[in-house]
C-alpha cells in the first residue's frame, strides 16, 4: 500500500507538538509547582502522574484500537440478540483497514479529551485539584503516542530504519519549546507556562486529525495471544531493562531543572542545557539507520545503558563543572535518542500484525509508564532527605542493572 508523500509532514507535525508539550512540561512544570509553594514530595508525586497514566491508559486504548470494540460488540450482541458492528472508516473493506480506522478514532478522541481536561490547570493551584487535573489530562494525552508509533511504523513499511528521521521532528518541537520558554522565563512569570501548554495541546489536536490510515498486514503470530508473546524470555528481558532505564530517568525529568537553578544556573541556561541534549538526540536519530544496519538494535541498547551509568554519575557529582555537565547532556544522544529508536524498533519486530498497537502500548505502559512512575515517586524523598548526588547515583545504579539484563538478553540471542 503506497502512502502519499505529504503524510510525512502530517505525522511530523503530530510529533512536533506532542514533544513540544514534553519540552514545556518536563523542564519547567516542576518550577511552576515550586512557584505555587508545593514541597519536594508533592512535586515528586505530581510529576509522577504522567508516568502513572502512561502505565495505565495505553493498554486500554491499544486494546480498543486492536479489536477491543469487537469484544464489546460481541457482548452487546449476546445481551440484545442484535448485531452490533464496529464503526469503520468510509471505504474500508477489510478487517485490517477497519482496525486502522479504530486506531485513528482512538487517537483523535484521546487528543480532544486531553485538551479539554488540560484547561483545568487554569482553575486550580491546590495539590488535590492539580492531581485530579493532571490525572485526567494525562490519561488521554498518554493514550495516543503508542498508537501513533504503530501508525508511523506501518506507514514506513519495510523502511522502519527511517523512523528516526520522522521522530526527529518531535525533538525539534522539544527544542523549540524548551529553549524559547527558557529565555522567556528570564523575563516573564513562570505562570505563563500554562498558556504554552495549551498551544501544544491544540497543535496535537489539529494534527491528530491529519494522520493517515495505514494497512495492518497479517502476520504468522496473529494466532498467538499477546500474553504468549509478552512471556517470551527475550521480551521480558527487554521490557525489564527498559523499565529500569525509565526509572533511572525519573529523577532527571523531575528535579534536573530545580537542581540547576539551585546551583546558580539561569532559566535560559537550563533551557539551553536541555536543548543541547535534544540536539544531540536529533543527530543520532539520523544515524540510527546506519548504526542499526551495522550493529543491530540489541548492541545499540547495551551501549546506551553503559553511557547512562556515566551520564547520571556526572550529573550527580559534577553539576558545578560546566564542561562535565555539557558532556553529560551530550550523552542524552545515547541514553534517550539511540535507546528510544532501538527499543521501539525491537518492539516492532517482536509485536507484528494484529498485535502492533497493543505491543507498543504495553511497552509504553510497562517501561516509560511504570518505570517513570517509580523513578518520579522515589525521587522526592531521596532528594529531600539524602540530596541530589545520592539521587542521581541511584539513577546510575538502575541503568547498570538494565545493562546487565541487556547483556543477558544478548547472550541468549547469541
d(CA 183, CA 336): 24
What is the four-CA torsion angle of 292, 294, 297, 299, rounded to 10 degrees? -140
Q: Please answer whether residues 51 and 368 qualify as being in contact, where contact means their C-beta atoms are separated by less than 8 angstroms.
A: yes
What's residue 257's pLDDT? 92
Handedness of CA 349, 350, 354, 358 (dihedral sign): negative
What's residue 63's pLDDT? 67
What's residue 159's pLDDT? 72
What's residue 96's pLDDT? 46
d(CA 31, CA 356): 37
Residue 236, classified by CB atoms within 10 Å of its CB into exposed (0-12), middle (13-18) or buried (19+), is middle
- What pTM does this model have? 0.76
- Across the chain, how many H-helices and E-strands are there? 18, 0
Query: Residue ranges per domain, the chain?
Result: 7-413
Find, among 252, 273, 258, 245, the residue nearest to 38 by Cα: 258
Classify domain 7-413 at the CATH class level: mainly alpha
Q: Please answer whether residues 310 and 329 qualify as being in contact, where contact means their C-beta atoms are separated by less than 8 angstroms.
A: no
Query: How far does Cα 92 stand from its chain's mean position?
Result: 30
Instruction: Report residue 376 as a C-alpha cell.
Output: 518520579
Find, among 302, 325, 328, the residue nearest to 400 by Cα: 302
pLDDT per 10-residue tile (average), the chain, 414 residues: 62 94 92 92 89 79 62 57 48 44 81 96 95 95 83 77 84 91 91 96 95 65 76 94 97 93 93 93 90 93 98 98 97 96 90 77 87 90 95 98 94 64
What's residue 93's pLDDT? 40
d(CA 133, CA 136): 5
What's residue 289's pLDDT? 86
Q: Please answer whether residues 175 and 278 qualify as being in contact, where contact means their C-beta atoms are separated by less than 8 angstroms.
A: yes
Q: How many CB atoms lie within 10 A of CB 357?
A: 30
CA angle 406, 286, 144 (to 5 degrees): 70
d(CA 28, CA 37): 15
What's residue 89's pLDDT? 42
Alpha helices in 296-369, H assignment, sequence order: 297-317, 322-330, 332, 339-350, 356-363
Amino acid at each position: 500500500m503506497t502512502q502519499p508523500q505529504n503524510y510525512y509532514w502530517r505525522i511530523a507535525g503530530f510529533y512536533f507538538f506532542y514533544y513540544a508539550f514534553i519540552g514545556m512540561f518536563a523542564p519547567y512544570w516542576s518550577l511552576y509547582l515550586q512557584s505555587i509553594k508545593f514541597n519536594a514530595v508533592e512535586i515528586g508525586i505530581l510529576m509522577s502522574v504522567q508516568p502513572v497514566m502512561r502505565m495505565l491508559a495505553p493498554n486500554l486504548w491499544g486494546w480498543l484500537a486492536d479489536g477491543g470494540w469487537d469484544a464489546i460488540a460481541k457482548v452487546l450482541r449476546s445481551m440484545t440478540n442484535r448485531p452490533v458492528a464496529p464503526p469503520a472508516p468510509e471505504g474500508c473493506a477489510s478487517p485490517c483497514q477497519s482496525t486502522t480506522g479504530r486506531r485513528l478514532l482512538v487517537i483523535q478522541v484521546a487528543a480532544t479529551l486531553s485538551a479539554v481536561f488540560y484547561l483545568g490547570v487554569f482553575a486550580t493551584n491546590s495539590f488535590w485539584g492539580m492531581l485530579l487535573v493532571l490525572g485526567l489530562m494525562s490519561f488521554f494525552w498518554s493514550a495516543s503516542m503508542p498508537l501513533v508509533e504503530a501508525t508511523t511504523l506501518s506507514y514506513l513499511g519495510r523502511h522502519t530504519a527511517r523512523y528516526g528521521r520522522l521522530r526527529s521532528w518531535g525533538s525539534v518541537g522539544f527544542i523549540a519549546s524548551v529553549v524559547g520558554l527558557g529565555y522567556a522565563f528570564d523575563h516573564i512569570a513562570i505562570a505563563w507556562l500554562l498558556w504554552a501548554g495549551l498551544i501544544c495541546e491544540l497543535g496535537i489536536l489539529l494534527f491528530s486529525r491529519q494522520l493517515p490510515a495505514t494497512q495492518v498486514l497479517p502476520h504468522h503470530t496473529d494466532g498467538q495471544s499477546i500474553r504468549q508473546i509478552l512471556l517470551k524470555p527475550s521480551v521480558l528481558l527487554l521490557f525489564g531493562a527498559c523499565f529500569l532505564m525509565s526509572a533511572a530517568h525519573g529523577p532527571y525529568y523531575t528535579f534536573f531543572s530545580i537542581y540547576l537553578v539551585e546551583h546558580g544556573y539561569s532559566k535560559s541556561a537550563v533551557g539551553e542545557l536541555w536543548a543541547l541534549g535534544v540536539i544531540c538526540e536529533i543527530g543520532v536519530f539520523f544515524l540510527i539507520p546506519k548504526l542499526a544496519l551495522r550493529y543491530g538494535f540489541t548492541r545499540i541498547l547495551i551501549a546506551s545503558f553503559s553511557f547512562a551509568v556515566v551520564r547520571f554519575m556526572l550529573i550527580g557529582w559534577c553539576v558545578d563543572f560546566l564542561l562535565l555537565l555539557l558532556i553529560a547532556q551530550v550523552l542524552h544522544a545515547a541514553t534517550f535518542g539511540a535507546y528510544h529508536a532501538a527499543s521501539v524498533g525491537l518492539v516492532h519486530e517482536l509485536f507484528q500484525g494484529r498485535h502492533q498497537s497493543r505491543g507498543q502500548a504495553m511497552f509504553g505502559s510497562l517501561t516509560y509508564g511504570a518505570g517513570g512512575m517509580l523513578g518520579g515517586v522515589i525521587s522526592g524523598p531521596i532528594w529531600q532527605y539524602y540530596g541530589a548526588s545520592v539521587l542521581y547515583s541511584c539513577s546510575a545504579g538502575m541503568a547498570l542493572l538494565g545493562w546487565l539484563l541487556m547483556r543477558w538478553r544478548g547472550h541468549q540471542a547469541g
